Amino acid sequence: MTPQQNDITYVKGIGPVRAAALRNNGIHSISDLLYNFPFDYLDRSRITKIKELPKLVEAGREVTVIGTVFRAETKFTRNRKRIFFLTMKDETGFLTCVFYNGIEWYQKAFAPEEILAVSSVPELDKYNRVQFIHPEFDRLKTKDEEDETDWNSLLHTGAIIPKYHSNEELRNAGLDNRGFRRIMKNVIRQHLQTVQEHLPAEMIRRQSLCSINQALAMIHFPKTYEERDTALRRLKFDELFYFQLLLAYRRKEIKGALTGISFKIRGALSTQLEQSLPFTLTDAQKKVIGEILSDMEQPVPMNRLLQGDVGSGKTIVALLAMLTAVENSYQAVLMAPTEILAEQHWRSISQLVRDLNVNVRLLVGNQKKKLREDILEDIRRGSAQIVIGTHAIIQEHVQFAHLGFAVIDEQHRFGVAQRAQLREKGKENPDVLVMTATPIPRTLSLTVYGDLDVSVIDELPKHRKPIRTAVRAENDKPKIFEFVHSEILQGRQIYVVYPLIEESEKVDLKAATAEYESMKKVFPEFSVGLLHGRMSSDEKDDVMKKFLIKEIHILVATTVIEVGIDVPNASVMIIENAERFGLSQLHQLRGRVGRGAEQSYCILISEPQYMQKQLITSSDRAAVYDEIRASKKRLQTMCETTDGFKIAEVDLQLRGAGDYFGTRQSGMPGFRVANVVTDYDILLLAREEAFTLVAKDPNLARPENKNIRYQFENVFKDLLSFVRVG
Ligand code: ADP
Ligand code: MG
């Protein structure tokens, strides 16, 4: 398509007003329109007759009713609040839809006899009549409309009708769902043939894909669900293919073009450390150390991910690798996401290397100026052999004399850009090891970390007892306190964690502080501490130290303790409002106990009433039902397993890939249709094609690959732009 052909005003039905509205919503061209896929479809199989609704209340699932507008009226409650009622009618009965908000808009929205599809979870009102509360609705047609109607085809031919996202601005320009459908019909009819195929015929055949033209036509107006699936498969393949192409280039760039440092391995320092450890390394630790060291020997920069569940002993693995760099007269750096964590690493690593005469320095945000300058000088001169810190390390004025090895702990807390920035601190392409205790399902590691090699510690140190986990209610508290009491008398320590209840740290803090006060009253004979994100790092440090030396028995905390904190004597983790936490967060929190030889416990306190209340007050009930189902599943999974990989898989299923790490954070593109988890099979095929292509035709110079190159550089640019930084 030439740029002129691509102008949206060429589409029949789009004049200046609609064009402006579309542009404001990010749709600038005909290609943008073609790629503005329906978010859902209406189909006959999901349409319910009104008289069937009472039977479906129990199921709590969304259903769709098609009918005509019978009556619309606004009523007042006793305290003068307005409620808008819309009564729909089909040949089997009447249905009332209730709207509490946006009354003004709804009052004008519906014409008598208009035909609508309304979707919601059916519920009973106080007279046991079925009602829809704030349903989603979709205009099908007004009574006097005579065009080839969606509505008729829907009911009589079983056609599938696309649903498009709209908003107030678009609606005002006549582009509600129905308006969108009309212009999309025109786009497909008039302009589809100008779209060029970009994949080579060979690849299309090999992967049994349909053509791009067929795919675009069928995604908008499928005749059957098979057609839609065929279209989806092609469009998903495209997204995954170009994404993997990017990863293939990135890996080639790091591996192929750059020369790295070739370290001599198993020198004096690392050997001495390994021999002086108070424990023997697990087989899994030995295996991953082998993998890392063999990378370090190669004159190619290492780019490796180390995955290991909480408590699997990643720190010692990283330290052995860092000492290898130090033996070779290079500096090593370890970057952690929080100050507490950086300080803890600094303390434990300093302790481990105390007999080795290695200079370990800590660099964090708010150190005193004089100390800070001394550290920076030490780093610049190269006399700081191991540097541990927060993202303070990647700031511009931090200069290393000869950085050879970089470790990033809890990688998922950092962006791809920060990984690159750390690497750039070395003049000679340092080896990079990223570590994560959030186990990444296999399906995701090929995407999020698709350009990395992966090592896995799949074994915990021996003699660890699995943590016992249970869900308890608020009124089990007396029993729980009794238990806490007896554990402390046996010398153990306790964590009580509070979630971020509101999206505001202040409220969060208030809740934790209140809990702290009440715990002090319940346990006057013990010492209770409080830890939260608003404390200065000195204060936090002070509390943590007191907890470490058992001066504090019960530590009430917000989620600041989530990652990495290591106090082996703590044996009980109590998590308040556990239903509000994500699964991997719960797993991380639980990982704070079970680090010593004693039996440890995790008590998840969850209040069913809280969820009920949420249900009563929310207008988006379908979402609340989903959330309740999901939170039950999370708590149940926690009780069933302590295996981080299993937990990660469930978490991923519950949350979907986009949300798993937060899209930008992870460097994952915002796919329109592909889902790296559920489309794993397509992902593997696309990856294979992309990596083979880069190996065979690295410059995409062959005629059959010319369009791939164009597509890669132009069309997928937006999708991939921010992935490119790493
Ligand atoms: P994580 O992988 O969660 O970062 P750490 O490196 O903090 O785990 O290790 C957790 C604890 O286990 C530390 O106290 C560490 O000294 C100890 N540890 C590490 N490796 C072993 C081992 N092979 N045997 C026994 N304890 C170990
Ligand atoms: Mg750790």
Please state, rounded to an integer, the average pLDDT across all residues of the chain.
Answer: 86
Ligand whose nearest atom lies closest to the CA of 312: 1
373-397 average pLDDT score: 95
- 40-163 against 468-641: fold identical: no
**Could you give the CA distance from residue 633 to residue 396 in angstroms, rounded to a whole number?**
45
Q: Whose CA is nearest to atom 9 of ligand 1?
A: 313
**pLDDT given at position 505:** 55
Least reliable range by pLDDT among 76-90, 140-154, 256-270: 140-154
Nearest to 308 by CA among 292, 294, 288: 288
Ligand 1 center–CA 564 separation, angstroms: 11
Domain boundaries, the chain: 40-163, 268-297+313-436, 468-641
Is the model's pLDDT at 573 over the cut of 60?
A: yes
**pLDDT given at position 507:** 58
Nearest to 175 by CA among 211, 139, 133, 123: 139
First to last CA, the chain: 31
Least reliable range by pLDDT among 344-358, 477-491, 558-572, 671-685: 558-572
Closest ligand 1 atom, residue 280 Cα: 23
| 270-305 pLDDT tens trace | 999 999 998 999 999 999 999 999 999 999 889 899
DSSP string, 495-541: EEE----SSSHHHHHHHHHHHHHHHHHH-TTS-EEEE-TTS-HHHHH
- Other beta carbons within 10 angstroms of residue 79's beta carbon come to 5
Helix 212-220 and helix 177-191, axial crossing angle in degrees, nearest 10: 160
**Could you give the CA distance from residue 29 to residue 15 in angstroms, rounded to a whole number?**
13
- Other beta carbons within 10 angstroms of residue 345's beta carbon come to 25
Mean pLDDT comparison of 234-243, 440-449, 551-560, highest-scoring range: 234-243
Cα 146 versus chain centre, distance? 47
Is the model's pLDDT at 590 over the cut of 70?
A: yes
Q: Whose CA is nearest to atom 10 of ligand 1?
A: 311
Is the model's pLDDT at 149 over the cut of 70?
A: no
**Could you give the CA distance from residue 414 to residue 334 in angstroms, rounded to a whole number?**
13
| Residue in 277, 285, 312 to alter for ligand 1 test, most ligand atoms within 8 A of Cβ | 312
| 404-460 pLDDT tens trace | 999 999 776 777 788 888 988 988 889 999 998 777 776 677 766 667 788 989 888
pLDDT bracket for residue 105 (50, 70, 90): confident
Place of tokens 């789009």: 14
Residue type, 114: E
pLDDT bracket for residue 148 (50, 70, 90): very low
Residue 213: helix, strand or coil by DSSP?
helix
**CATH number assigned to the domain covering 268-297+313-436:** 3.40.50.300
**Could you give the CA distance from residue 66 to residue 367 in angstroms, rounded to a whole number?**
66
Ligand 2 center–CA 538 separation, angstroms: 21
Ligand 1 center–CA 350 separation, angstroms: 15
| 512-548 pLDDT tens trace | 788 899 999 999 999 999 988 778 777 887 888 899 8
Ligand 1 center–CA 282 separation, angstroms: 10
Tell whether ligand 1 has an atom less than 6 A from the beta carbon of residue 711. Answer: no
- Other beta carbons within 10 angstroms of residue 628's beta carbon come to 17
Nearest to 109 by CA among 132, 92, 86: 86
Tell whether ligand 1 has an atom less than 6 A from the beta carbon of residue 345. Answer: no
**Could you give the CA distance from residue 115 to residue 241 in angstroms, rounded to a whole number?**
42
Residue type, 592: R
pLDDT bracket for residue 564 (50, 70, 90): low
Is the model's pLDDT at 240 over the cut of 60?
A: yes
Residue 405 burial (C-beta neighbours within 10 Å; 0-12, 13-18, 19+) = buried
Tell whether ligand 1 has an atom less than 6 A from the beta carbon of residue 388. Answer: no
Tell whether ligand 1 has an atom less than 6 A from the beta carbon of residue 313. Answer: yes
Tell whether ligand 1 has an atom less than 6 A from the beta carbon of residue 310. Answer: yes
Tell whether ligand 1 has an atom less than 6 A from the beta carbon of residue 590. Answer: no
Ligand 1 center–CA 315 separation, angstroms: 7
DSSP state, 595?
Answer: -
Q: Whose CA is nearest to atom 5 of ligand 1?
A: 313
Give the CATH number of domain 40-163; options: 2.40.50.140, 3.30.70.20, 3.40.50.2000, 3.40.50.300: 2.40.50.140
Instruction: Write out the two tokens for 597.
Output: 């030889």
**pLDDT given at position 522:** 95
**pLDDT given at position 297:** 96
In angstroms and rounded to an integer, the radius of gyration of the C-alpha atoms of the chain is 30
**CATH number assigned to the domain covering 468-641:** 3.40.50.300
| 106-142 pLDDT tens trace | 888 888 888 888 888 899 988 889 999 988 887 776 6
Do 564 and 344 form a contact (C-beta atoms < 8 A)? yes
Is the model's pLDDT at 69 over the cut of 90?
A: yes
**pLDDT given at position 627:** 80
200-206 average pLDDT score: 96
